[in-house]
Amino acid sequence: MGEKKQLFGHEIAVLEHSRNIIADATKTKEEVIGDYKNLCDHYEEMLDQSKLITKVSDKLQNKLNSANAALADKNQELQETIDELTKAKIGKKAATITFGLAVVLFVLSEGIFDPFIESFAKKVFVDNPNQAALIQYSTVILWTSMFGKLIMALLLKPLETFIEEYLLKKAIKQQKALKAINA
C-alpha cells in the first residue's frame, strides 16, 4: 500500500530526521553540528515558505472578498430586477382580472340591476297615473342606473390596487417558501 502524500511531507521528514539525530548517542559532536546546520537551513526555508504562504493566502482572501462583494452587489441588482418584473407581471394580471370583473359587473348591471330598478320604479311610479310621476319614473331609472355604473367605475381602481397587493403578497410568500426550500 502506497504511503499517503502529505502537503508538508518533506518538512515532516526533516523533523523526523532531526529527532532521530537527538536519539542517536553514537553521533560525534561534529556530525551533530553538521546536522544542526542542516536543520537551521531547513528551518529558514520553512520560515520563508510560511511567510510566503501567509502573504499570498491573505492577498487571495482579499481577492475572494472583493469577488464576494461584487457577487453580492450583482445578486442585489438581480433581485431588484426580479422584483420589478414580478411587480410588472402582477400589475398586468391585476389589470386583466379587474377588466374581467368590470365586464362581469357591467353585464350584471345590465341584466340584473337595471331590470330590478326598472321593475321597482314601475311599481312605485307607473301605477300612479300622474304625468309627473311618469317623468320621475324615467329620471329615477336613468339616474339610478348611471349612479350604479359610476360607483362601479369609481371602485375599479381601488379594486385593481387591492388585487395587485393581494397577488404581490402571495408572490412574496411563494418566493420566501422557495428560498427556505433552497436553503
Q: CA 39 to CA 17: how far, in whole Å?
A: 9
CA–CA distance, 37 with 161 (Å, rounded to integer): 84
* 109 touches 149 (CB < 8 A): yes
Contact status: 48 vs another protein (CB under 8 A)? yes
Query: Would you count residue 119 as binding another protein (CB under 8 A)?
Result: no
Grid cell for residue 116: 330590478
**Which residue of 20, 62, 119, 161 would you call a contact of another protein, by CB under 8 A?**
62
- 111 lines the binding site for another protein (CB under 8 A): no
Of residues 49 and 161, the one with the C-beta less far from another protein: 49
* Segment interacting with another protein, rule: CB under 8 A, options 6-14, 89-97, 146-154, 163-171: 6-14
How distant, in Å, are the alpha carbons of 98, 115, 118, 170 from that of 112?
20, 6, 10, 33
**Residues touching another protein, count (CB under 8 A):** 17
Exactly one of 13, 33, 40, 53 binds another protein (CB under 8 A); which one?
A: 53
Question: Are the beta carbons of 169 and 86 closer than 8 angstroms?
Answer: no
Q: Does 6 bind another protein (CB under 8 A)?
A: yes
Q: How far apart are CA 155 and CA 68, in angstroms?
A: 49
CB of 29 to another protein, least distance (A): 31
DSSP one-letter code for 126: I
Compute the least distance from the CB of residue 170 to another protein, in Å. Answer: 38
Binding status of residue 20 toward another protein by CB under 8 A: no
Binding part of the chain for another protein, among 58-66, 88-96, 105-113, 138-146 by CB under 8 A, reads: 58-66
Residues in the chain: 183
Q: How far apart are CA 62 and CA 64, in angstroms?
A: 5
63 near another protein, rule: CB under 8 A: yes
Identity of the residue, 64 or 82, whose beta carbon is nearer to another protein in the bound complex: 64
